[in-house]
Amino acid sequence: MFKPKQVWLVVLLGTNLFAGETWWQPAWNRRCRLVVAGAGRKVNSLPITITGKQLKALAGSENLFLGSLRVVAAGREVPCQVDEFDGGQHPAAANHMLDDNDELVFQADIPAGGTELWLYWSTQPLPPPVYPSTSFLAEAMDPDIFQHDLQLWNDNVFLGLKGPARGTDPARNSLENWGAGCLVMMDFFRKPVLHIRGAWSSIFPLGAIAGQPGPDANRWQRPTPLVSGPVRISALTSLSGAAVKTASEEIKMDLVHRVWLYQQGALVCFEEFLSPAQEVKNFRQEFSFGFQFSRPEAETIWYGQAGSCRSFTPDAQGLQAAAENKIIASASGLEDWFAWYCPGEKSGYGYFLDKAWPGEKRENNFYTRNYGAFRSSRLFPVLTEKSVVVHRFWASGLKDVETADVQAFSRLLTQAQITFSPVEKK
């Protein structure tokens, strides 16, 4: 694993240290080495994002044509895509201008000790790359049965995104009114993690504003495709002027939900953007992510606590107690991840919370009966008028992993350390 002093050595000496590295293609006249620090365990298919602001800093006063960007590892192209946001927070478009919040995204395997890749570009126009993809977006099949409006899927994942609530009275506690603006179906490796017809609490994430029965639940926009590329695809839904009750008052907020499905692995990202119409103090939001035990001594939950990986596996007696609505396991002070895993099948899924927003105070805990929940409580001392707060949650299918693998994945997923060497010119 790269230590801080080693990273600074790469920054200071990068040009001389790597000058002998073979140049990938002569038509690309600029390059920069990327060093991704490891987390002590190998992590596969890690999504890596480089912002437009970072690309601007690399290019300086020179042109950087977005279509020319390529990621190269060991002399081979790594599929990448550029998602453009026109300087705004939400709508994506292709204006081919480099804005601060444009994103270059790719996925890479990160060994335990870290890895190195090359970013190439040109100061002259070059054709954009073309890579294959097996990810798709489409209108929902049987939307009245499965309660979603748009579906996203690939070989490993199926998602159902819901727009407005469907009940005639959106505040009524009925199936049609749950999950507005949220994911109500999520399968990993053809096994359901969420299925709204199985339980009303099967929503990702439970706790999203106006995602449950209420007067605003039917005002969500129908989900629309946002981005379709070889690395990830995305959809968006929004709600303007939602009424949100705080501890002392009711305020208005504009909301945007984005869902991203990544090509490699089984990885989903859900984002909630909050834009309050006025300043609000001590704003609190509670999120919950469900799981369920089904067989004695066949399933395990993993979590991080005080820097250590911990686990719990119920026995037959524990499952019987859970069936009687008794809590059989709980813990607080958790790290920002949680996983359910079946050792016999070598598969499961995990929830991962992105790093805290500036000023956010967060507490995580879990409990389980037969159904259980990983929960996150967030407190913001002050949200200013027209500020934008982003909650970002990840869910991933897990295959043939151990507890420490999941902890390493969480750290790289949410706080990857990426170092850029000085730009080289050809």
Over residues 108-162, the pLDDT tens digits come to: 999 999 999 999 999 999 999 999 999 999 999 888 888 999 999 999 999 999 9
Rg (CA), the chain: 22
Percent of the chain whose pLDDT exceeds 90? 74
Q: Is the pLDDT of residue 198 over 70?
A: no
Residue 362 has pLDDT above 80, yes or no: yes
What does the block give as tokens for 337? 């991840």
Burial call 123-154: b when 16+ CB within 10 Å, e when fewer: eeebeebeeeeebebeebeebeebbbbbbbbb
What predicted TM-score, i.e. pTM, was given to this entire model? 0.92
Q: Long-range contacts for 131-135 (Cβ within 8 Å, ≥24 apart)?
A: 131/77, 131/79, 131/80, 131/81, 131/230, 131/231, 132/230, 133/228, 133/229, 133/230, 133/233, 133/263, 134/263, 135/228, 135/232, 135/233, 135/261, 135/263
d(C-alpha 202, C-alpha 146), whole Å: 12
pLDDT over 70 at 93, yes or no: no
Summarised one tens digit per residue, pLDDT across range 19-64 is 457 999 999 999 999 999 999 999 999 999 999 999 999 999 999 9
Q: Which class for 245: exposed (0-12), middle (13-18), buried (19 or more C-beta within 10 A)?
A: exposed
* pLDDT per residue as tens digits for the range 237-257: 999 999 998 878 899 999 999
pLDDT recorded at residue 222: 96
Residue pair 157/187 in contact by the 8 Å Cβ criterion: yes
d(CA 79, CA 106): 6
For the chain, give the longest Cα–Cα distance.
Answer: 70
What is the pLDDT at residue 89? Answer: 57
The yes-or-no verdict on residue 299 having pLDDT over 80 is: yes
Please state, for a pLDDT cut of 70, what percent of the chain lies above it.
Answer: 92
Instruction: Identify the CA nearest to 232 among candidates 83, 359, 378, 380.
Output: 83
**pLDDT tops 90 at residue 164:** yes
Rounded CA-CA distance 272/183 in Å is 12
Q: What is the pLDDT, as a whole number, of residue 316?
A: 87
Q: C-alpha angle 99/100/102, rounded to 5°?
A: 65
* pLDDT in the model for residue 387: 84
Q: What is the pLDDT of residue 30?
A: 97
The phi and psi torsions of 175 (rounded to 5 degrees) equal -55, -40
Q: How far is CA 313 from CA 134, 338, 341, 342, in A?
A: 36, 14, 10, 10
List 267's β-bridge partners, or say none.
Answer: 396
Range from 109-113, 158-162, 298-302, 396-400 carrying the lowest mean pLDDT: 298-302
Distance linking the first and last C-alpha atoms of the chain: 31
Q: How far is CA 126 from CA 77, 85, 160, in A?
A: 15, 21, 37
Could you tell me the pLDDT band of residue 326, with boundaries at 50, 70 and 90? very high
Q: How far, in Å, CA of 209 to CA of 383, rounded?
A: 15
Q: To the nearest whole number, what is the mean pLDDT of the chain?
A: 89
**Residue 397: pLDDT above 60?**
yes
Q: What whole-number distance in Å separates Cα of residue 179 and Cα of residue 288? A: 13
pLDDT-based confidence at residue 1 (cuts at 50, 70, 90): very low
**Which strands form 329-332's sheet, in the order they lie side by side?**
280-292, 371-383, 361-368, 329-332
* For residues 339-366, average pLDDT: 93
pLDDT at res. 4? 33
Domains contained in the chain, CATH given: 4-131+415-425 (2.60.40.1180)
Cα–Cα distances in angstroms (integers) from residue 393 to residues 235, 273, 338, 421, in the given order = 15, 12, 12, 30
Listed in sequence order, the residues at least 6 apart from 61 whose beta carbon sits closer than 8 Å to its beta carbon are none
Phi-psi region of 74 (alpha: psi -120 to 50; beta: other; left: phi over 0): left
Assess contact for 30 and 120: CB atoms under 8 A: yes
- The type of residue at 403 is T
Q: Which pLDDT band, with edges at 50, 70 and 90, does 296 fall under? A: low
Locate tokens 């019987």: which residue? 320
Q: In whole angstroms, give the CA distance from residue 369 to residue 320.
A: 10
Q: What is the pLDDT of residue 53?
A: 94
**What's the gap between Cα 127 and its chain centre?**
30
Which uninterrupted H or E stretch holds 337? strand 334-342
- The least confident of 172-176, 200-204, 344-348 is 200-204
At residue 371, the pLDDT reads: 85
Q: What band does 292 get if pLDDT is binned at 50, 70 and 90?
A: confident
* pLDDT, position 3: 34
